[in-house]
Amino acid sequence: MANYKKRGNGWQARISWYSGDGQRHNKSKAGFPTKLLAKKWATEQEVKLNQGVNIGKEITLVDYYDQWVKTYKEPKVAPITMRLYQLTGNRLKTYFPGVKIKDITRGQYQEFINWYGKDHAPQSVKKLNMAVRGCVRSAILDDYLIKDFTQGV
């Protein structure tokens, strides 16, 4: 359920929902210049909720990547492969500092790949893309994302 409130010169939208364990959650965003834009944001959030995405979960790409490498890769890969994952993480920190994983678009990711590919061999670009793609697919399974922004890049 959403409600809207006029705040100063802008509008605020707030949605609330109950999780599976019966706890009530809220999410709000302010600063919309019109009530229509606030309603649009609230509707988008409710659609995500209906698709099963936990919109209360927010994490940066870099933080999720580091967590993913530590959980799924570090225990079972060779040291040389681990070095590849660390280098990929460093590139993500350089290009996407503080950017939430759910805010990254396919176009932005393509620009990142193009940027990295300017001074790296095609095989290096493929390895970096493979690592990020695995991370993003895991993020979809963990309900941080709906779409795979690495698809077709």
Q: Indicate if 105 and 44 belong to the same structural domain.
A: no
Same domain (yes/no): 45, 65 = no
81 and 108: one domain? yes
Say whether both 130 and 74 belong to one domain. Answer: yes
Check: pTM over 0.75? Answer yes or no: no
Kindly state whether residues 112 and 44 are assigned to the same domain.
no
On whether both 75 and 11 belong to a single domain, the answer is: no
What confidence tens digit (pLDDT) does each residue in 84-142 have? Answer: 999 999 999 999 999 999 889 999 999 999 999 999 999 999 999 999 999 999 998 88
Nearest to 83 by CA among 137, 127, 23, 42: 127
The residue range of the domain holding 43 is 2-50
Q: Determine the angle formed by the axes of helices 122-141 and 79-95, rounding to 10 degrees.
A: 80
The pLDDT tens digits for 42-77 are 898 888 777 766 666 778 999 999 999 999 998 899
Token code pair at residue 140 = 């979809």
Residue with tokens 């309900």: 143
* Helix ranges restricted to H, 1-153: 35-50, 61-68, 79-95, 106-117, 122-141
127 and 66, same structural domain?
yes
How many domains in the chain?
A: 2
The residue type found at 45 is Q
